[in-house]
Structure 1
């Protein structure tokens, strides 16, 4: 159940290769090929590609009856220009692994090496290399793929590295660990006019100026409250970038966030009512649509118990501090059909934050993460 020194060297080099060649959400074709090629010599019993886009599922089957246990990582990078200065920095301008998905992928690959040497005693392990986590459509695409039904897990586990937490420590708890969220794009349409005669048109300016504070004001409750809701305006555009035309259209983008999926429906309804009211007052037509939809990630108590047992047996410190998190994570969708749990692995208290341009995944987390996952798998299936 342990990696050799050579394994660690090779996994580290491979992680850095992935880091140098990032692919953003829904573009992870070459990254997926890297996964398949890297694990080919482990002799998997089944390999599924193109799941939910560019997802890969690699299955290690005991050939005996038992549960299916899935471990998931993400393949996608971010549209961020890297400034970390590390020798293996991104070679793709404007794209980089600033969330550590390259490291998570290496942790699952480490499991593949060990499972290739020794299958579980019963049941099977599915290593799910999921695409498009950052945009929220990756897990959804995987789940609706007809082939997923053939490997659908009874238990599902995932991890995410977490800067700000002491290196190698774990945060895990039952219940909500990541918020539900979705992006709301609001389109306002009026009528353009000459900038010397704005009264002859219908400008969205006043509606935009009202929506920018009114949307965040829909939020309520403290984060510790199940009724918590939050709205963040993220982008605004209005008219053309010229001086001679009074604007006739605008867009306001906002992210809606709640602890519970049920609360999200209420928050969306409130935002829609607000948009209709303000647009009507300003003689504008309005429409809206939703993007990057994440359900809440809710850890099942029995799945958490499996993780806590593994952590205790491996002597890894763990607690519930820092949870739940306001950030979203599309792993939550797997929890709608399986007992699932996600834990957070400390990247160091002073480590650059996720999505920062100077972030880089700490390679020394690879053996730690794989130890936790492997102990969990062996406890369940051996």
Structure 2
């Protein structure tokens, strides 16, 4: 990779590494990122942006660096939140918070954007403006939606939105980028089946959810596409039962209640809506046939992440200029990312940046973001800004 990033030095990246490790020690879950946001704001103030916006969509933070000249407005986004996973990595800066960690690398994503804050603080864009967005609550799918629905976001008016997510399994420093779908839409569905308990010696006097649960689990699984179906198939669907619970761990009572959780995945938002309709229709039919009441809830809702061809083309131009190997790879992913909400008002592109083929997978308890990826990601962002400025 060519060194086209002269405005930041080895000292800068050493300081950004320590800043990243401080974030790593103090992970906060979705919607709880108060300390993380304060750490971000303190860093941003040192770079003297034209405006800092706080508490956008929760604990979200945005910094605007404006050229004062007409031009496109570009948003670069990272995430604030960690995960409810114990950090077991053998590192001196392991999480200080029991049961919480940064095993998705959001600390590293923030460090990449912090590098851009330093760069933009020293040199504003030639035209237009750059918005650095530190988004809350990505892990549960609620943060991006709340940010774009926040009245303040309408004032930012980005024309383009870009984001990098690190990805183990991809060679270090390579990028995966496509036009169209990058990640599946997904939704967690929670079913509560309510009947009536009975003495275990007279189960026929109660209304048991047993038969309903026994039928729903395999029929939900049967809604999935056949094993081996590519996620690029527009009809791709996956239903994964993640939790089932019935009755109590006793021997004298026949169960009267049950809970069943499942994650639904589809390549498109329309496909997700159709899959939800199928799940609800089956659940209602089965519970009615068994004399049960049904309550349905949803959580962790993600829309599909769909790259705009214009934005993806800008990314490819930038990567070619700095000599980064790129291609479609295994995209689209079955997993989900809430960055897709930014595509509803801007031309967006999400890219996957290889963090190495031997690194533990994301969400593994021993995952740690590789610090050497900070200058790689920030150089890519800088090249993207230059590519946008070169348009017309």
Superposition deviation, residue 136 in structure 1 = 0.5
Moved more, 240-249 or 174-183: 240-249
**Matching residue of 1:196:** 201
Is 1:311 the counterpart of 2:319? The answer is: yes
**Matching residue of 2:46:** 41
The CA deviation string for residues 38-96 of structure 1, in whole angstroms up to 9 with x for no partner, is 12111010100001110000110111111110000000000001111111110100000
Superposition deviation, residue 209 in structure 1 = 1.3
Tell me, in whole angstroms, the C-alpha distance in 2 between the residues paired with 1:293 and 1:350: 31
Superposition deviation, residue 196 in structure 1 = 2.1
Tell me, in whole angstroms, the C-alpha distance in 2 between the residues paired with 1:286 and 1:112: 50
TM-score where L is the length of structure 2: 0.96
The gaps in structure 1 that reach 5 residues or longer are: none
Tell me, in whole angstroms, the C-alpha distance in 2 between the residues paired with 1:31 and 1:283: 49
The CA deviation string for residues 108-135 of structure 1, in whole angstroms up to 9 with x for no partner, is 0000000000000111000000000010
Is 1:372 the counterpart of 2:380? The answer is: yes
Superposition deviation, residue 232 in structure 1 = 0.3
**Matching residue of 1:122:** 127
SS in 2 for 1:218: coil
Tell me, in whole angstroms, the C-alpha distance in 1 between the residues paired with 2:248 and 2:71: 61
**Matching residue of 1:321:** 329
Is 1:98 the counterpart of 2:106? The answer is: no
Superposition deviation, residue 242 in structure 1 = 2.7
**Matching residue of 1:295:** 303
Superposition deviation, residue 323 in structure 1 = 0.7
SS in 2 for 1:184: strand
Is 1:179 the counterpart of 2:184? The answer is: yes
Question: Which residue of 255, 264, 272 corresponds with 2:280?
Answer: 272
Is 1:158 the counterpart of 2:163? The answer is: yes
**Matching residue of 1:248:** 256
**Matching residue of 2:93:** 88
Moved more, 278-287 or 93-102: 278-287
Question: Which residue of 229, 232, 240 corresponds with 1:232?
Answer: 240
Is 1:344 the counterpart of 2:349? The answer is: no
**Matching residue of 1:79:** 84
Tell me, in whole angstroms, the C-alpha distance in 2 between the residues paired with 1:380 and 1:324: 25
SS in 1 for 2:222: helix
SS in 2 for 1:366: helix
Is 1:206 the counterpart of 2:211? The answer is: yes
Tell me, in whole angstroms, the C-alpha distance in 2 between the residues paired with 1:378 and 1:28: 32
RMSD in angstroms over aligned alpha carbons?
A: 1.0
TM-score where L is the length of structure 1: 0.98
Superposition deviation, residue 21 in structure 1 = 0.3
The CA deviation string for residues 301-356 of structure 1, in whole angstroms up to 9 with x for no partner, is 11011111111111111111111100000001111111000110001111100000
Tell me, in whole angstroms, the C-alpha distance in 2 between the residues paired with 1:338 and 1:138: 17
Tell me, in whole angstroms, the C-alpha distance in 2 between the residues paired with 1:26 and 1:38: 21
SS in 1 for 2:77: strand
Superposition deviation, residue 244 in structure 1 = 2.3
Tell me, in whole angstroms, the C-alpha distance in 2 between the residues paired with 1:280 and 1:37: 56
Is 1:109 the counterpart of 2:114? The answer is: yes
SS in 2 for 1:69: strand
**Matching residue of 2:290:** 282
Tell me, in whole angstroms, the C-alpha distance in 1 between the residues paired with 2:13 and 2:252: 62
The gaps in structure 2 that reach 5 residues or longer are: none
Tell me, in whole angstroms, the C-alpha distance in 2 between the residues paired with 1:160 and 1:345: 6
Q: How many aligned positions are there?
A: 382
